[in-house]
Structure formats: structure tokens, C-alpha cells
Structure 1
Amino acid sequence: MKRILRTAGRIIILLVFTAFLWLAAHLIVQGFGVIWPILLTPFVEQILTLWLVFGLLFLTMFIFSKSARKRHHAIWDSLTATIKQMSSGNFTAAASRKMEKIERDHPVTKLADELSTLAAELSEMEKLKQEFISNVSHEIQTPLTSLKGYAHLLKKPDLSYEERGRYLHIIETETERLSKISENLLKLTALERQTEPIQKKPFRIDKQLRRTILTCEPEWSAKQIEFLIDLQESYVYGDEALLSQVWMNLIHNAVKFTGEGGRISVKITDLPEAAAIEIADNGIGMEPEQAERVFERFYKADKARNAGGSGLGLSIAKKIAELHGGSIEVESKRGEGTLFRVILPADPHETNS
């Protein structure tokens, strides 16, 4: 309907314009008739008016086509410049190019705007890639520097047995840290590419959480942390092995950032067709701007959270939750603790008790 109305409108405008040209041509010919009344018979007057209308139409078309050519050239030049900048890797400059207002109605404008949007997205991806490479380099360089330094110290002939053992222990620890970084990077890459299929099945999430808490007992017992558990029987539908990594990471972080004699609570809440698992502590907490970035790769909120770890655990946990059609969110306040809430789809075949 819109296309029909638009076409009808153009036809009406063309007819009105032609009528205007005919009137203008008729007035011009009549003006000549006043000067040379003998030469202009009614027939000649009609012929001259007709040819003058054609002449005015041609002149109008020529003026508009010349203007349109300049406009088209400007559009294609802008589009070509954007493509050249993108091909050379200059995504930031390509993203900043926008079509002029005079070109807004041109069909190619939409393509040019889409290219600018694509360039902006590629520019953001390039920044993320550079940041990722920088973070990886930093995380790997730190243990490598330690390994090099302590390996050099081991060359000293006058080292005592205790010093040699301590240096070897540090080298072993840093080697394990490098191995963990590599393992987590490979794991996150595999999850993002989904090269390994997720083996989903219904299982008791409350039992899995209890097992994870017991596995971490040496850590929280050493700090005399109190665990408050509210785990009623509850089913979810997912990959048990992958979800185990989520709970291990969240509970490990809660223990790490909770002080001596602190408190950690683990709770399951049944939602419509889903289960919400909350793991909360009364540890050091985070600022709001830090909590917003806590799921980014290699992000560490502050120096206190730099002790150990690679900054990949929460990124992996978030990706696993998303692959299950769920989500993970965080609430935190500096000095008051942190709460992680994981929402997972319930088992479609079982009813939560």
C-alpha cells in the first residue's frame, strides 16, 4: 500500500510539474506572439509550445542528473574510502565515517551505514583482542620471570639444603600456575567454540553442591569458616561435569576472599521451570564498577584479589551457565561480602520437590 501511494504521489507531482512547464511555455510563446503577431498562427503557436515544453523538460533533467551524478560520486567515494580503511585494518577511522545528510535517501546509504557499524564492531573486537593478548602476556610473563630468577639462584654452589628446597618449591608452584593458565585458556576456547558437545541429563543439584563443599573442606576448615547450607532436593538438566566446575570456582573464590572465622551460605531456590543457586560470603566484597567487570577474562578487581588465580575462572563459569541456557549474576558491596546467583533450567522430566 505504501509503495502504491508513493508511486501515485510521484505521478501526480510529475503531472503538476509538466502542467507548470506547459503553462510557462505557453506564456513564453504568447509573449513572442505579441512581438510578431503575423508569424504565429494558432497551429505554429501549438507546435512551438510543445517543443518548448520538451526543451524545458530536457533542461530540467540535465540539471538534476548533473546534481545527482555529483551526489552519487560522493556516496561511492565515501563507501570506497570506508572499505579501503577496513581492508587496511583501520577500523576506528572506518567506523567514524558517516554519510552526509544530503545522501540519507540514497539506497547505498544503508549499506554504508551497515559498513560503518561493522567497522565499529570490528574495532571493538580488535581492542578486546589486543587487551586479551596483553593480559595473557602479563599472566605468563610473571611466573616465567620467577622461574628464571629462581633457576638462576639454584646455580649458586653455596646454597643450603633448605634454600634449595624452598626455591624448588617456588618453581614447582609457578609451573603449576602456568599449567593452570594454559588449561583454563584451552577450556574457555573449547567452550566458546563448542567443540565438545554438552552431555545434558537430569541430576540432583543439591547432592552435587554438598560434594563440592566437602571437597573444599580443607580450605574452609583451615580458616574456620562457617558454612550455612539450605539445600532441599532439586533437579536441573545439564552437564554434571561442567557445572561442577562452576560450583568449585564459586566456592573456592568465596573461601579465598572470606576472612578467618567468616561465613559462607549456599542456598537453592526453586523458580518456575528453573533453579536458583546462591553462594554468598561476608568477605571483602567489591565496588560496583568492579562487580560489573568481574566476568571479563583476566580481570582482577584489586590487589587483594590478585593472590593466585588467573582471572579466567568466572569467565568459564559464566560461559558454562550460558551454554545451559541459564545465567549468572553478582551482587557485592565493599566490606560486606559478595553473592553469586546462578539460574539453571530445571529438569524437564522431573518435578522439583
Structure 2
Amino acid sequence: MKRIFRTAGKIIILFAVTAFLWLIAHLIIQGFGLLWPFLLTPYVEQILTLWLVFGLLFLTMFVFSKSARERHHAIWDSLTATIKQMSSGNFTEAASRKMEKIERDHPVTKLADELTTLALELNEMEKMKQEFISNVSHEIQTPLTSLKGYAHLLKKPDLSYEERGRYLHIIETETERLSKISENLLKLTALERQKEPIQKKPFRIDKQLRRVVLTCEPEWSAKQIEFLIDLKESFVYGDEALLSQVWMNLIHNAVKFTGEGGRISINITDMPEAAAVEIADNGIGMEPEQAERVFERFYKADKARNAGGSGLGLSIAHKLVELHGGTIEVESKPGEGTRFRVILPAEPREKNI
């Protein structure tokens, strides 16, 4: 409909311009007729007026087309420069470059807008890539430094048996940490590319949570943590093995940041066509800005820097819940603890099958 109105408007403008030029041509020819009345018969006057209208119309179109052509050249030059900046990897300058626009619905204007959006997105991706590389380098460099240092100490001939055993234990721990980082990176990459096989079926989530709690017993019993469990019979629709990884990560996280003699609660709430699992602790908690970033890769709150881990566990949990068509939320206050809430579908959903 807009196109019809636009076309009709252009036709009306064309007729108006033609009528205006016809009036000017008619006045010009009449002026000549006043000067040389014996040369202009009515027939000659009409012919001259018609040719003058065509001439004025051609001149008007030539002036406008030349102006438009110059403007188009400027726009295409700007687009070309932006594309060159993007091809060289300079997304920041490409995103900040201001391109001339013609009109809002013009195809070139739309192309310029899309190109600017693409440059902005690529710039954000470049920043994320650089941050990711920096984080990976930091996480890998730390255990490598330990490995190098303790391997150097092992060269000392006067080391006691106990010292040698302690250094070897540290090297083994750091090696396992490197292996875990590599394993989690590969897993997260596979999940983001959706290459991880997902075999969904209905299963009892309350039973699964009990098994995971028992599996983690050595961790929480060593810290004398009290578990408060309210798990009514509840079914969800998903991949049982992958969701087990979600609960392992969340419970491990809760145990890690809960102090000696602390408390962790797990409960299930039935919802329409879904089940909500809440895992809460009374540990150290987080600041609001830390809670907002807790699902980012490698992100670790300052308080948790010395608690080990790679900062990938919650990213993996978030991605797994997302692949199941569910949601995961976090609430936390410093000194009061953290609560994770996971909502999963209880029935198949077409878009997730």
C-alpha cells in the first residue's frame, strides 16, 4: 500500500512539474509573440511551446540527475570505504563511520543501515574474542607457571621424600586442572554448535537430584554442610545425562561457596507444563553486578578467585538449560547466599524437539 501511495505521489509531482514548465514555456513564447507577432501563428506557437517544455523538462531532469548521481557516488564511496575497513578487521572504525543517507525506505539507505549493524555486531564479536583469548591465556598460564616452578624444584638433589611427594601432588593437581579447562572448553563449544547429542525423554527429576546430592556427599560432608531437601515426585522432558551435569555444576558451586556448617536447600515446584528446581545456599553471596555476569565464560567474582575452578561450569549449565527450552535465574546478596532457579519443560515442545 505504501508503494502505491509513493508511486501515485511521484506521478502527481511529475504532472505538477510538467504543468509548471508548460506555463513558463507558454509565457516565454507569448513574450516572443509580443515582440514579433508576425512570426508566430497559433500553430507555430503551440509547436514552439511544446518543444520548449520538453527542453525545460530535460534540463530539469539533467540537473536533478547530476545532483543525485554525485550523491549516489558519495554514498557508494562511503559504503566501499566501510567494507574495506571491515575486510581489514578494523570493525571499530567501520562501525563509527557515518554514511550518507538518501531517504528512509531507499534500498541504499537500508543497505547502509544493515552494514552499520553488521559492523557493530562484528566489533562486539571481536571484543568477545579478544576477551575470550585473554581469559583462556590467563587460566592456562596460571597452572603452567605452577608446573614450571615445581618441576624446577624437583631438580634439586637434596629434596626430602616428603617434599618431593608434595610437589608431585601439586603438579598432578595442576595437570588435572588444565585437563578440566580443556574438557569444559570443548564441551561448551560443542553445545554452542549444537553438536552435542540430545536425547530427550520424560524422567523423574526428583530421583536424579537425590542421586547427584549423594554423589557430591564427600564434598559437603567434609564441610559439615546441612542439606534441606524437599523433592516431590516430578517429571521433566529432557536429556537425563546432560541435565545431571547442570545439577552437578550448581550443587558443586553451592558447596564451594558455603562455609563450614552452612546450609543448602533443594526443592521442586510444579508449574503448568514445567517444573522449577531451586538450589539455594547461605554462603558468601555476590554483588548484583557479579550476579548479572555469573553465566559468562571464565567470569569469576573477586571473592571466588582463590576458590579454584575455571569459570566455565555455570556457562555450561546455562547453555544446557537453554538447549532444553528452559530458563535459569540467579538471585544473590553479599553475605546472605545465592539462589539458582531452573525451569524445565515437563512435556515435549515442538521448537525444541
* TM-score (normalizing by structure 1): 0.95
Would the aligned equivalents of 1:259 and 1:283 in 2 still touch at CA under 8 Å? yes
**Identical-residue share of aligned pairs (%):** 90
Rounded Cα–Cα distance in structure 2 between residues aligned with 1:76 and 1:299: 42
Q: In 1, are the aligned partners of 2:154 and 2:167 still within 8 Å (CA)?
A: yes
CA positional deviation for 1:295: 0.4
Which stretches in structure 2 are left out of the alignment for 5+ residues? none
What's 2:304 paired with? Answer: 304
Query: Structure 1 residue 192 and structure 2 residue 192: aligned?
Result: yes
Partner of 1:92: 92
Match of 2:290 in 1: 290
Contact 1:75 1:103 in 2 (8 A): no
CA displacement, residues 169-224 of structure 1 (integer Å, 9 cap, x when unaligned): 11111111111111111111111122231111111100111111111112111212
Please name the residue that 2:172 is paired with.
172
What's the offset of the Cα at 1:325? Answer: 0.9
Distance, in Å, in 1 between the alignment partners of 2:274 and 2:305 is 32
**1:5 positional shift:** 2.7
Question: Does residue 315 of structure 1 match 2:323?
Answer: no
What displacement does 1:323 show? Answer: 0.9
Give the SS at the match of 2:115: helix
Distance verdict in 2 for CA 1:220–1:105, change over 3 Å: closer
How much does 1:21 deviate?
0.9
Go from structure 1 to structure 2 and tell me whether the alpha carbon gap of 1:221 and 1:83 turns closer, same or farther (over 3 Å shift).
Answer: same
Point out 4+ residue stretches in structure 1 off by more than 6 angstroms: none
> What one-letter code is carried by the residue in structure 2 that aligns with 1:185?
L
Alpha-carbon distance between aligned partners in 1 of 2:2 and 2:143, rounded to the nearest angstrom: 67
Q: What residue is the counterpart of 2:23 in the other structure?
A: 23
**For residue 232 of structure 1, what is the amino acid of its counterpart?**
K
Deviation for aligned residue 1:104: 4.1
CA distance in 1 between partners of 2:306 and 2:88 (Å): 38
Contact 2:206 2:231 in 1 (8 A): yes
Query: In the comparison of the two structures, how many residue pairs are matched?
Result: 349
Counterparts of 2:342 and 2:17, CA distance in 1: 67
- Counterpart CA distance in 1 for 2:74 and 2:306 is 53
The alignment partner of 2:198 has SS state of: coil
- Deviation for aligned residue 1:105: 4.9
The one-letter code of the counterpart of 1:265 is S
AA in 1 matched with 2:215: T
Q: Could you say if the C-alpha distance between residues 180 and 156 of structure 1 is closer, same or farther in structure 2, counting changes exceeding 3 Å?
A: same
For 2:287 and 2:75, how far apart are their aligned partners in 1?
48
Q: Equivalences for 1:1-353 in 2 at 5 Å?
A: 1-102=1-102, 104-348=104-348
State the 1:260 CA deviation.
Answer: 1.3
CA distance, structure 1, for counterparts of residue 304 and residue 58 of structure 2 = 79
Q: 1:300 touches 1:306 (CA, 8 Å); kept in 2?
A: no
* Aligned-partner residue type, residue 34 of structure 1: L
Query: Amino acid of the residue matched to residue 116 of structure 2?
Result: S
Instruction: Using the TM superposition, name which of 276-285 and 16-25 deviates more.
Output: 16-25
SS in structure 2 at match of 1:111: helix
Normalising by structure 2, we get a TM-score of: 0.95
Compare 237-246 and 6-15 and name the one that shifted more.
Answer: 6-15
1:305 and 1:231 map into 2 onto residues whose CA distance is 33
Secondary structure of 2:188's partner?
A: helix
Displacement of 1:250 after TM fit?
A: 0.6
AA at the equivalent of 1:36: W
**What amino acid maps onto 1:108 in structure 2?**
V
Letter of the 2:299 counterpart = Y
User: Quick check: 176-185 or 299-308, which moved more?
Assistant: 299-308
Question: 8 Å contact 2:102–2:109 — kept in the other structure?
Answer: no
RMSD: 1.5
Matched residues in 1 for 2:200 and 2:208: separation? Answer: 15
Distance in 2 (alpha carbons) for counterparts of 1:28 and 1:259: 98
Asked if the contact 1:268–1:278 (Cα under 8 Å) also holds between the matched residues in 2, the reply is yes
Q: Aligned to 2:285, what secondary structure does the other structure show?
A: coil
Alpha-carbon distance, 1:258 to partner: 0.7
Report the Cα distance in structure 1 between the residues aligned to 2:230 and 2:206, rounded to whole angstroms. Answer: 9
Q: How much does 1:102 deviate?
A: 4.3
Local SS of the residue matching 2:277: strand
Provide the secondary structure at the position in 1 that maps to 2:210: helix
- Tell me how far 1:348 sits from its aligned partner: 5.0
